[in-house]
Amino acid sequence: MTFDFSGKTVFVAGGTSGINLEIALAFAEAGARVAVLSRSQDKVDGAVAKLRAARAGAEAIGFAADVREQPAVEAALAKTKETFGAIDVLVSGAAGNFPAPAVGISPKGFRSVVEIDLLGTFHVLRSALPHLVQPGASVINISAPQAYIPMEMQMHVCAAKAGVDMVTRVAALEWGAFGVRVNSVSPGPIAETEGMNRLAPTEELRALVADSVPLKRFGTTRDIANCCLWLASPLASYVTGAVIPVDGGWALGGASVSVAGMKKALMG
């Protein structure tokens, strides 16, 4: 199945690597003009080059900015609208993660994850509203199973992503009147990503994780991008306030086997 986003503007916060870059690329391949934002200028430059190569005539711009800095986020969104027109699809996926038991996380580390994932998502959504196509825009927050499954070694991420899903639901309630849909996509374990490499750094652990997924495999970054294409398309025009797992069924079993394995491997 192919989707057509010709003439549409897509903004992906955190869109310079991994899952979020794949989402940006999928929209670029489908005809959209794409803007990405992340902290590293090198990563922004690399992502913009890939996006411009995604198809003949592809247009892309990038911003080196931190989602914790609201004025910088606001400026990037305003520039995107000025350059490409109002934003049809907004993806908020900037995040940080590291495995650590609660007693091992410094207040600074906990605050950093909450500020990037949760406060950053608020900054992106709140700043974007005046720049969104109304009615018609689709907002997608990239969440995680940690939002609804308590996981050892992940208190900071569980707290932050649970907040992200509540931002999704409240924004869906408030912005439905503007014709703006807001949903969360919750990836399971996704192969060859920074997030998974940090949580399952060895082959042994990765085998354990794959075995704990009902579909018996890791997801691909394209699995997540495909869900975002559908969510942003007219096929999903009555879907808002949803948290959609794209996880091979991983959350059904509580992800307990793999989390226990991770804990053993990381802490002994």
Q: Work out whether 43 is an interface residue with ligand NAP (CB under 6 A).
A: yes
CB of 191 to ligand NAP, least distance (A): 8
Q: Work out whether 149 is an interface residue with ligand NAP (CB under 6 A).
A: no
Q: Work out whether 144 is an interface residue with ligand NAP (CB under 6 A).
A: yes
Contact between residue 233 and residue 3 where contact means Cβ atoms under 8 Å apart: yes
Q: Work out whether 187 is an interface residue with ligand NAP (CB under 6 A).
A: yes
- Selected from 8, 9, 10, 18, the binder of ligand NAP by CB under 6 A is 18
Contact between residue 44 and residue 64 where contact means Cβ atoms under 8 Å apart: yes
Closest residue by Cα to residue 125 from 80, 64, 77, 161 = 77
Q: Work out whether 95 is an interface residue with ligand NAP (CB under 6 A).
A: yes
Closest residue by Cα to residue 186 from 127, 124, 118, 248 = 248
Q: Which stretch binds ligand NAP (CB under 6 A): 33-41, 51-59, 171-179, 206-214?
A: 33-41
| Token reading at 257 | 């086997």
Contact between residue 168 and residue 91 where contact means Cβ atoms under 8 Å apart: no
Q: Which stretch binds ligand NAP (CB under 6 A): 2-10, 15-23, 148-156, 165-173?
A: 15-23
Q: CA–CA separation, 190 vs 186, rounded Å?
A: 11
Q: Which stretch binds ligand NAP (CB under 6 A): 53-61, 93-101, 131-139, 209-217?
A: 93-101
Q: Work out whether 38 is an interface residue with ligand NAP (CB under 6 A).
A: yes
Q: Could you give the angle at the alpha carbon of 244 between the alpha carbons of 240 and 250, nearest 5°?
A: 170
Say how many C-beta atoms besides its own lie within 10 A of residue 102's C-beta: 11
Question: Which parts of this chain interact with ligand NAP (CB under 6 A)?
Answer: 14, 16-20, 38-40, 43, 66-68, 93-96, 116, 120, 142, 144, 187, 189-190, 193-196
